[in-house]
Amino acid sequence: MRTQNNNKYCNYSAALLLLTLTTHVSATNLNISYGQQEYQVNFQDETVTLNPNGKGAFFGTNLTDDLSLNLDYQTWQGDKNINNRFNTDMKLDTLGASLNYYLDEWSFSLNYSQSDIDTAVYDLKKAAQTRNENTESFSVGGSLGYGFSSGTWFYGVLVSGLYSEWDFDKSQIKGKIKSNKAPKILTEKSSGDSTSISSSLSAAHYWSLSENTGVMLGALLSWNYLISGDSVLISRNGRNINTGANQRNTSRGTGARATNATALNSISGDDSYGQLAVYISYDISSSWSVDLDSSVNFESDSDAFTSSVTLGYVF
């Protein structure tokens, strides 16, 4: 069972900040979001698409006029019945933080995130047969952005880099319901890392409706490139595997895949892929706003679609 990379949903969030980079002001804001995305797993030579729902919270505050701190948390959960034979479900939790420095039209950011993905498949006709996968990861990265405005138009460019490490555990229980034999348990552990870079272009237009209300409509086009990715099989069925050179597989952005595609893809995704996102924000008042955004991947193994609605409050 191969899981789709969830980081693609979050990739455009930082770049969308460029849409309002030139209007950066000292403030503290709290956002609460709800959304849905397509999440794919490969099961028995078949791609199964789940549509997990997600909730999130974002907190941002200015430490100084030029320095801000952002914290965010997201949780996603979904399930699906497959031909009345199997049930599959997934749960994803992510936690992130970023430190941002602004200098005129420039922005510099350092960020950290960690995630925990659990995916399970249950055989409805053979209760003793289940399959579980867990991927824990962390990522550190940085970005350089430039934003400027022309009247009521806003433009931005962002270049970023990301390094990720992950640990992957898989277990499968095989057995029959009416059997005196203990079920057979198969396990596998692996780990790896990846390095990627991305670039983004964004543009937005703002329509003022009154002194404290207005609408901003924006779009973002980004491209992600996987520079390298290493995957190491640590153990299988409790037996340690030699992690020497003959057990290591490396992807160097040339289209080659690491052998453990399950874990590597769940964190790093494809060697390269693009993303198009659109965004509309309505300032209800000087303090409240509501945002709608959606994105779709292209030139990707999984051209997933994501949408969300966010309610924001500025203190």
Tens digits of residue pLDDT in 207-217: 999 988 999 99
> Which tokens in the block code for residue 66?
């030029």
Q: Locate tokens 């209007």: which residue?
A: 23
> Which tokens in the block code for residue 301?
């193994």
Tell me, what DSSP letter sits at residue 16?
A: H
pLDDT of residue 230: 86
Q: Which fold has domain 2-314?
A: Lipocalin (2.40.128)
Where are the extended beta strands (E) located within 63-183? 67-82, 86-103, 106-123, 130-150, 153-174
pLDDT of residue 259: 32
Q: Which residues pair with 164 in a beta bridge?
A: 139, 194
| For the chain, domain boundaries | 2-314
pLDDT digits (tens, 9 = 90+) for 172-213: 887 665 566 777 888 899 999 999 999 999 999 999 999 889
Q: How far is CA 283 from the centre of its chain?
A: 27
Q: What are phi and psi of 134, to 5 degrees?
A: -135, 130
Q: Which residues pair with 264 in a beta bridge?
A: none
Q: Using alpha carbons, select from 219, 218, 145, 229 the residue that is nearest to residue 193.
A: 229
| pLDDT of 247 over the 90 cut | no
Q: CA-to-CA distance for 178 and 82, rounded, in angstroms?
A: 24
Q: Work out the burial of residue 244: count CB atoms within 10 Å of its CB; fewer than 13 is exposed, 13-18 middle, 19 or more buried.
A: exposed
Q: Are 312 and 287 in contact (CB under 8 A)?
A: no
Residue 83: count of CB within 10 angstroms of its CB:
7
Spell out the residues 6+ positions from residue 54 whose beta carbon is closer than 8 angstroms to its own: 33, 34, 35, 36, 37, 74, 75, 76, 77, 92, 308
Average pLDDT over residues 126-144: 86
Q: Using alpha carbons, select from 38, 78, 71, 39 the residue that is nearest to residue 56.
A: 71
Give this prediction's pTM.
0.81
Number of H helices, E strands in the chain: 2, 17
Q: CA-to-CA distance for 130 and 5, rounded, in angstroms?
A: 22
Q: Which helix (H) or strand (E) holds 240?
A: strand 239-240
